Structure 1
Amino acid sequence: MAHMQSEGEGVKLLARSWQQSGDRLEDRLAGLTDAEYLWLPTDDGWTIHPDPMRPGRWTYDYDFAPPAPAPITSIAWRLVHIIADNEIYWEYAFGPGQRTFPDLIVPETASAALDAWHHSRAPITEWLADATADDLAESRPSHLGDPTPAGEVVRILVDEQTHHGAEIALLRDLYLRIAR
């Protein structure tokens, strides 16, 4: 019986971590303006920008092997990165697995990014509400190649949201002190 309780605790822990890290980021994003969203604290950092290859669409700077040291990024870059991870990891693990990162819409305003972030979180939140320990262990397809347990997919997304959410919070603090 104790083993069954501990199995259910893993689901509860992931769900609580997902919710709390999302709530913390939601609080830190309150009142985000387009100026903050697009502010780049250095001249040579990474951000979002119009896509020269696809008129009317936006893209963001990215390299799977970023230069050292890693570029400073805008809040837009960080938030779009969280959205893209949510969408692509979920697309491959629980959907048709057809889209790639360039297929995703890059929101050009703070308001559109917040809407896209909320939308990207919804299927994960819904899945966690009904997940079991067996669901966490189930092997799922991955855009990175080898199948991955569903619990690991969610753990990666919690980590990304926590990690980049903290960076967004710091960028907002810097913006309020030096850029406005």
Structure 2
Amino acid sequence: MPEPTPKPRDALDWNGVLAEQLEWHWNHHLRRRFEGLTDEEYLWEPVRGCWSVRPRGTHGPEADGAVQLGAGPFVLDYADPEPVPAPVTTIAWRIAHLVVGVFGQRNASHFGGPAMDYAGHRYAGTAAEALDQLEEAHARWRDGVADLGAEGLLRRCGPAEGPYAEASLAELVVHINREAIHHGAEICLLRDLYAHTGHHGAR
């Protein structure tokens, strides 16, 4: 049987390839693993000193330089630079990071999304609200990437990306997809630990 003739590079739908990199994982793995997330799981702290999302005024971990950021009734534990070793973070923290730092800031810079930063975001106090925020941020990213076209992928990122200003949007898409898959897998692992450890956490 003859081998298939490979397509020339310029005949590939690179927008489709990059979209599928994340979308297959999101639709066939992550989304179903996010289903049924409870508020208790969302805020579960598996070890002492976790970073999380907390009601404003609630005491967080005493890490060097740690602050609490947020514009609403819930705040995010945060430090820049982060402590060494980096703290373990809850599902709530990881979803917030995806919403703000992974998708949200890039949606604002490149796809017409609302202004987004860690200090100004209104963090979700419940799992359902957090997942709604995540789905909205992901959908804007997905649609924005799909609309770039071949020429858009070659456009440089610009000053919004700081030291990566001269990188192409294609390189940014690969990076953000990788970040989303990585942090999504961390959330899945925390759900597994929650289910298999009798919910034992910080003491």
Is 1:69 aligned to 2:85, yes or no? yes
SS of aligned partner of 2:50: coil
Change beyond 3 A, Cα 1:134–1:38: same
CA contact (8 A) 1:47 1:73 kept: yes
User: Structure 1 residue 91: deviation in Å?
Assistant: 0.6
How far 1:33 moved relative to its partner?
0.3
Partner of 1:152: 171
Amino acid at match of 1:20: W
Structure 2, unaligned stretches of length 5 or more? 1-6, 58-68
Q: Which has the higher helix share?
A: 1
| Identity in percent | 31
Flag the structure with more relative contact order, 1 or 2, with Cα contacts below 8 A and sequence separation at least 6.
1
Match of 2:42 in 1: 37
Q: Structure 1 length normalisation: TM-score?
A: 0.87
- RMSD over aligned Cα, in angstroms? 2.3
Would the alpha carbon gap of residues 96 and 158 (structure 1) be closer, same or farther in structure 2, given more than 3 Å must change?
closer
Q: Which runs of 5+ in 1 are unaligned?
A: none
Distance 1:70 1:157 in 2: 21
Greater shift after overlay, 161-170 or 99-108?
99-108
Please, what TM-score do these two structures have when normalized by structure 2?
0.78
**Structure 1 residues 82 and 98: alpha-carbon distance in aligned structure 2, compared to 1, 3 A threshold:** closer
Change (3 A) 1:17 1:64: farther
